[in-house]
Amino acid sequence: MAHRDRWASRPAFIMAAMGSAIGLGNLWRFPMEAYANGGGAFLIPYIVALLTAGIPLMMLEYALGQRFQKSAPGSLREVDPRFEMVGWWALGIGMAICAYYAVVMAWCFNYLAFAFTQPWKENPQAFFDSFLGLTKGPGALGTIQWPAVVGLAITWAWIYWIIRKGVLRVGKVVMITVPLPALLTVIIAIRGFTLPGAMEGLRYYLTPDFNALLNAKTWLSAYAQVFFSLSLGFGILTAYASYLPKRSDVTNNAFLTGLADAGYAYFAGFAVFSVLGYLAQVQGVPVESVVRGGPGLAFVVYPTAISLMPLAPLIGVLFFITLLTLGIDSAFSIVEGAVAGVRDKWNLSQGKVTTWFCMVGFLVGLVFTTGAGLYWLDIVDHWMNEYGLVVIGLAECILIGWFFGAAKLKEYINEVSDFRVGWWWDFFIKWLTPIALGIALVVNIAGEMKAAYGGYPTWALLAGGWGLVAAIIVLAAVLARLPGRTKEGA
């Protein structure tokens, strides 16, 4: 391509990368992981994992995009044409994740509207019963939940509006959608600190149990949390970095993004646990009985706590705006990464490719708006994260570390960066990160052998889990073999 889009400024890129990394998981996954794995002691393996795997791998993805000025498939094709498939696989996994992530955002839109009247006050479990219309299992699809469909349409229209003009508009949008949730989280946390019982909640979050450090599971959880949180393995960071000039600082950008992501997640724990402490005190139960992660935290526990506070509608609105603004940057970054891959290879217009991706994303997402949607969301989420992203991370480390040569990429990183990286970067990319991801993969597969994930029927796990992973691999192989329409893509 003769001309490549560029970020308007370095801050625009850094904000976009931060926005991509900081998502719903920072708020509803990290605090629960910390709580379940030694409280404050979890922060030790978490910071170790961030510095030894998260940031080094982030530097790898940035360096790939920046050096070759192409999205993930194109950059990996430059390394070796046989590796292009891994790039397409990353984009495929990302789009599968985005299909259900957009549905979670659709629920947030619905709950934002509910926040004014707080209908969950009567029955917090209404989220599962009447709102999702949850059926008995993945085989009983039930009916489509139309409020969720409306929310889904709004979400995809929002994503479309942001990325159809390319990274220039993205750069403007993230100047609002990245600082806004951080500011709102501060407001919610301050509100939380002033509530009775908040300190008890924070005690659960922060009191360190150093015995947990002797447990391999704690370390594995820390590496997994860092890996899933930083938007690694989606091809997003490579695509975003490809819009930077070749001489941009790789190391500092990676540290800024990684530390901002970890810093937000750590702070979000204060907002979550102070409110959980309050809820436990009001209900007269121990904090552990109200602790819940994922959608259960966002749509059941937190709304229940909010409804008990003074100024409940205002706090509810702020909370769901926080979730929406946290989610949107992550969602559109995934789509932008995929759009960039297609554009690089077939030289199509941004608007046309974005339209197609958003339409397909919306249609696929409809499955998750049915009564069985939550079951399918859980299955797809488990397989895409535990097998899709982990395998891609592993493949990136092996392909770059061992085939392309970590030293070669390190040379480029040091040429353009303020902070030089030493032998340790090669060691982390060639040995430590692949070993950590390899162990995570083996442990997950062993777990799968012992018991069916979530107690779901085998056919559902084959269809939404292994089958979907296999389908994405086949699709990636086909896309990699198709001839491109540009000189670079040919």
Partner 1 sequence: MSPSAWITCVIVSVILYGGFAVCLAVAIRRGREGRRDDEQES
Q: How far is the CB of 227 from partner 1 (least distance, A)?
A: 18
Q: How far is the CB of 186 from partner 1 (least distance, A)?
A: 13
Q: How far is the CB of 136 from partner 1 (least distance, A)?
A: 43
Closer residue to partner 1 in complex, CB, 263/371: 263
Q: How far is the CB of 40 from partner 1 (least distance, A)?
A: 3
Q: How far is the CB of 12 from partner 1 (least distance, A)?
A: 12
Q: How far is the CB of 390 from partner 1 (least distance, A)?
A: 25
Q: List the interface residues with partner 1, window 238-257 (CB under 8 A).
A: 249, 252-253, 255-256
Closer residue to partner 1 in complex, CB, 19/341: 19
Q: Please give the structure tokens belonging to residue 459.
A: 């056919």
Q: Which of 263, 313, 371, 405 binds partner 1 (CB under 8 A)?
A: 263
Closer residue to partner 1 in complex, CB, 253/304: 253
Q: How far is the CB of 201 from partner 1 (least distance, A)?
A: 10
Q: Which of 175, 187, 259, 475 binds partner 1 (CB under 8 A)?
A: 259
> Applying CB under 8 A, which part among 167-175, 196-204, 404-412, 437-445 lies near partner 1?
196-204
Closer residue to partner 1 in complex, CB, 122/418: 418
312 is a site residue for partner 1 (CB under 8 A):
no
195 is a site residue for partner 1 (CB under 8 A):
no
179 is a site residue for partner 1 (CB under 8 A):
no
Closer residue to partner 1 in complex, CB, 416/439: 416
SS (H, E, C) the chain: CCCCCCCCCHHHHHHHHHHHHCCHHHHHCHHHHHHHCCHHHHHHHHHHHHHHHHHHHHHHHHHHHHHHCCCHHHHHHHHCHHHHHHHHHHHHHHHHHHHHHHHHHHHHHHHHHHCCCCHHHCCHHHHCCCCCCCCCCCCCCCCCCHHHHHHHHHHHHHHHHHHCCCHHHHHHHHHHHCHHHHHHHHHHHHHHHCCCCHHHHHHHHHCCCHHHHHCHHHHHHHHHHHHHHCCCCCCHHHHHHHCCCCCCCHHHHHHHHHHHHHHHHHHHHHHHHHHHHHHHHHHCCCHHHCCCCHHHHHHHHHHHHHHCCCCHHHHHHHHHHHHHHHHHHHHHHHHHHHHHHHHHHHCCCHHHHHHHHHHHHHHHHHHHHCCCHHHHHHHHHHHHHHHHHHHHHHHHHHHHHHHHHHHHHHHHHHHHCCCCCCHHHHHHHHHHHHHHHHHHHHHHHHHHHHCCHHHCCHHHHHHHHHHHHHHHHHHHHHHHHCCCCCCCCC
| Measured distance CA(257)–CA(249) in Å, rounded | 12
Closer residue to partner 1 in complex, CB, 195/480: 195
202 is a site residue for partner 1 (CB under 8 A):
yes
291 is a site residue for partner 1 (CB under 8 A):
no
Per rule CB under 8 A, count of chain residues that contact partner 1: 25
206 is a site residue for partner 1 (CB under 8 A):
yes
207 is a site residue for partner 1 (CB under 8 A):
yes
Q: How far is the CB of 206 from partner 1 (least distance, A)?
A: 4
Q: How far is the CB of 21 from partner 1 (least distance, A)?
A: 13
Q: Which of 419, 423, 424, 431 binds partner 1 (CB under 8 A)?
A: 419
Q: How far is the CB of 331 from partner 1 (least distance, A)?
A: 24
14 is a site residue for partner 1 (CB under 8 A):
yes
> Applying CB under 8 A, which part among 107-115, 200-208, 347-355, 405-413 lies near partner 1?
200-208
Q: List the interface residues with partner 1, window 20-59 (CB under 8 A).
A: 39-41, 43, 47
Which are the contacts of 243, defined by CB distance < 8 A and separation ≥ 6?
A: 4, 5, 6, 7, 13, 167
> Applying CB under 8 A, which part among 199-207, 218-226, 328-336, 462-470 lies near partner 1?
199-207
Q: Is the separation of the CB atoms in 379 and 461 below 8 Å?
A: yes
Q: How far is the CB of 41 from partner 1 (least distance, A)?
A: 8
Q: Which of 10, 169, 172, 292 binds partner 1 (CB under 8 A)?
A: 10
**Which spans of this chain sit near partner 1 (rule: CB under 8 A)?**
10, 14, 39-41, 43, 47, 199, 202-203, 206-208, 249, 252-253, 255-256, 259-260, 262-263, 266, 418-419
